[in-house]
Amino acid sequence: GESVGLHLPTLSVQEGDNSIINCAYSNSASDYFIWYKQESGKGPQFIIDIRSNMDKRQGQRVTVLLNKTVKHLSLQIAATQPGDSAVYFCAENDRGNKLTFGTGTQLKVEL
Amino acid sequence: EPEVTQTPSHQVTQMGQEVILRCVPISNHLYFYWYRQILGQKVEFLVSFYNNEISEKSEIFDDQFSVERPDGSNFTLKIRSTKLEDSAMYFCASRTGGGETQYFGPGTRLLVL
């Protein structure tokens, strides 16, 4: 079943350090994965995506890694900045219409 | 840059009342979605809409919910008789026909008293 809760995992990093946010997904049929950033009071904002036929994709300051063997997804943010502070969600799509979101990780960037 | 817009940003209503949440998807998008997020929890899928009909819906989307695309630009979610547990952020999303990335609006915060 899916896990829900009021307390998000939190990752605290120093400004300038690299951040790694992890996500485990459950559906082995999922073929498309997305990372979203959600700032307080706002909607999810697309960051980067990856298809299941890839294991790595890079964007500007962000890299997504996909390990299908263990159903694990990670988001790496290089040189983390205060503006990166937000909740980060991974989401999966199994060829259907809907996105299934993970629980989310709160990233806090300390000055 | 085009974006999904939603109105109102906040809505307070009494239990049992009907509410309509409005969304204007990105103009060339063909697939439309509603999601909700209860405070402190993850985003949950409600319904997807394509070619003027529902293509998929979740268990949450019961008979109290309906969606409509009344014209070429708006996409609405109606909750017929609100319950306390309907209090949440409601997000509209849309995507193109060829792409898979769903773009989200800023959300409507619904509070049912």
- Domain assignment present for residue B2? The answer is no
The span from the CA of B109 to the CA of B96, in Å, is 26
Residue carrying structure tokens 């997807």: B48
Do the beta carbons of residue B96 and residue B32 sit within 8 Å? no
Find, among A40, A12, A25, the residue nearest to A74 by Cα: A25
- Domain assignment present for residue A19? The answer is no
A31-42 pLDDT, tens per residue?
899 999 999 888
- Domain assignment present for residue B3? The answer is no
- Domain assignment present for residue B5? The answer is no
Looking at the 3D structure of chain A, how many domains does it have? 1
* pLDDT over 70 at A96, yes or no: no
User: How much is the pLDDT for A52?
Assistant: 92
Summary mean pLDDT of chain A: 89
Enter the tokens of residue A68. 């299908």
- Domain assignment present for residue B1? The answer is no
User: How much is the pLDDT for A1?
Assistant: 35
Segment A66-94 mean pLDDT = 94
Segment A97-104 mean pLDDT = 88
- Domain assignment present for residue B97? The answer is yes
Residue carrying structure tokens 């630009």: B73
- Nearest C-alpha of chain A: how many angstroms from B27? 18
DSSP assignment of B86-101:
G-EEEEEEEE-SS---
User: How much is the pLDDT for A6?
Assistant: 45
More confident: B1 or A78: A78
- Domain assignment present for residue B81? The answer is yes
A8-37 pLDDT, tens per residue?
789 999 999 999 999 998 888 888 999 999
B8-58 pLDDT, tens per residue?
999 999 999 999 999 999 998 999 999 999 988 889 999 999 999 999 999
Segment B49-71 mean pLDDT = 94
Quote the domain boundaries for residue A55: 28-93
- Domain assignment present for residue A105? The answer is no
Q: Which residues contact B64 (CB under 8 A, 6 or more apart)?
A: B79, B80, B81, B82, B83
**Among residues 82-101 of chain A, which lie with CB inside 8 Å of chain B?**
89, 91, 93, 96-101
Q: At A38, which CATH number? A: 2.60.40.10
Segment A40-68 mean pLDDT = 94
> In chain A, whose CA is at the least distance from the CA of B3?
A45
Nearest to A6 among B40, B91, B105 (CB): B40
Q: Which residues of B touch A99 (CB under 8 A)?
A: 33, 35, 43, 45, 102
Quote the domain boundaries for residue B41: 11-112
- Predicted confidence band of residue A5 (pLDDT cuts 50, 70, 90): very low
Q: At B44, which CATH number? A: 2.60.40.10
**CB–CB contact B106 A43 (8 Å):** yes
- Domain assignment present for residue A6? The answer is no
- Under DSSP, the state recorded for A60 is S
Can the peptide bond before residue B106 be classed as cis, meaning omega within 30 degrees of 0? Answer: no
User: How much is the pLDDT for A4?
Assistant: 35
Do the beta carbons of residue B7 and residue B90 sit within 8 Å? no
- Nearest C-alpha of chain A: how many angstroms from B113? 20
Strands (E), B14-95: 19-24, 31-37, 44-50, 53-57, 65-68, 75-79, 88-95
- Domain assignment present for residue A87? The answer is yes
The span from the CA of A34 to the CA of B99, in Å, is 13
User: How much is the pLDDT for B98?
Assistant: 77
* pLDDT over 90 at B5, yes or no: yes
Looking at the 3D structure of chain B, how many domains does it have? 1
Nearest to B42 among A49, A96, A102 (CB): A102
Residues of chain B whose beta carbon is less than 8 angstroms from a beta carbon of chain A are: 4, 31, 33, 35, 40-45, 48, 50, 55-56, 58, 91, 100-107
- Predicted confidence band of residue B74 (pLDDT cuts 50, 70, 90): very high
